[in-house]
Amino acid sequence: MAGTMTDDAPLAGPAGPAGPRSGGAPGDPDGSPRGAGADRPCPPAPGPPALLAVLLSGTGRTLENLLAAIAAGDLHARVGAVVSSVPDVRGLAVAAAAGVPSAVVRRRDHPDDAAYSAAVYAALDAAVAPARPDLILLAGFLRKLVVPDDLLGRILNIHPALLPEAAAVAAGRGYYGERVHAAVLASGAAESGATVHVVDNGYDTGPVVLQERVPVLPGDTPATLGARVFAAECRLYPAAIRRHLATRPDLRDRRSGA
């Protein structure tokens, strides 16, 4: 069962009323397909593809999904760099198979979150020099990032629950993967879903870009709900990236490292 995407205006606050929308009607600036889960590719975007960098800590399923969306023509972008917080994870193998440069930056090798974050950003920039990433995407990245002023609005995360409404029970430090889905089930919610939001200096607190809702079904377990939510994530993240780039053309001003 496909979920329902909702968007927000203008990139702040909770999502708007649910409806069969994934970025609006044809003609919207992000070119998103109409209807939840629609698989019609968006029209090609003008100019060079957006330069993306991906941060991960595990299996790389979200990275695989983004690479597939790019290959299918659903996302006018290329992944230029991957950084993992953990060595020897499958996500690094996914990057290698796609020919994407990757690096490992471990938290324990740095004295604090600020130094760690600076090392992550430096590794990304080094991989795509002399350009710099237009957008940094968290894809199951389990370390705290400190976001400097020059990167505000340039980092997105996808969270496997509805924000901000589930923030009190299924978001924040320590909530990821099946922990999130178990918390949603324990709360008695009738719906869950996924949310793409701008990363700020809190945990899961940044402005919402786009979300997709899915039902919580009788007999659901964290695993079954998680599978339904991940299917929504696969539709949602490419659509949210398109929307964010379309509504923030200033994000494309770092090509020469300016």
The alpha carbon dihedral of 69, 75, 85, 255 has a sign of positive
**185 shares a domain with 130:** no
Collect contacts of 178-187 with beta carbons under 8 A, ≥24 apart.
178/222, 178/223, 178/226, 181/222, 181/223, 181/225, 181/226, 181/229, 182/222, 184/216, 184/225, 185/216, 185/220, 185/221, 185/222, 185/225
**Is residue 112 assigned to a domain?**
yes
pLDDT value at 42 more than 90: no
- Same structural domain for residues 174 and 115? no
Q: Is residue 171 part of a domain?
A: yes
Burial of 80 (0-12, 13-18, 19+ CB in 10 A): buried
* Residues 125 and 168 reside in one and the same domain: no
Residue 132 lies in a domain: yes
Task: Inform me whether the pLDDT recorded for 257 exceeds 60.
Answer: no
pTM above 0.85, yes or no: no
Q: In the listed set 91, 123, 146, which residue is the last one of a domain according to the structure?
A: 146
Both 117 and 199 in a single domain? no
pLDDT in tens, 143-200: 999 999 999 999 999 999 888 887 666 565 655 667 788 888 988 889 999 999 999 9
Q: What residues does 194 pair with on adjacent strands? A: 212
Residue 119 belongs to some domain of the structure:
yes
The reply to whether 243 falls in a domain is yes
CATH of the domain at 203: 3.40.50.170
Mean pLDDT of 93-120: 97
Q: Are residues 89 and 128 in the same domain?
A: yes
Catalytic residue status for 76: no
194 shares a domain with 244: yes
Find, among 72, 249, 231, the residue nearest to 154 by Cα.
249
Q: What is the mean pLDDT of residues 60-78?
A: 97
Range of the domain at 176: 159-251
Domain boundary among 146, 167, 196: 146
Which of 146, 176, 202 marks a domain boundary? Answer: 146
Q: Judge if 190 and 231 occupy the same domain.
A: yes
As a whole-number percent, the residues of the chain with pLDDT over 90 amount to: 64
Same domain, 113 and 202: no
- The alpha-carbon radius of gyration of the chain (Å, integer) is 17
Q: What's the mean per-residue pLDDT of the chain?
A: 82
| 122 shares its domain with 176 | no
Catalytic residue from among 76, 159, 181, 244: 159
The answer to the question of residue 37 being in a domain is no
* Averaged pLDDT for residues 202-210: 89
Structural domains in the chain (count)? 2
Q: Is 72 among the domain residues?
A: yes
In a domain, 18, yes or no: no
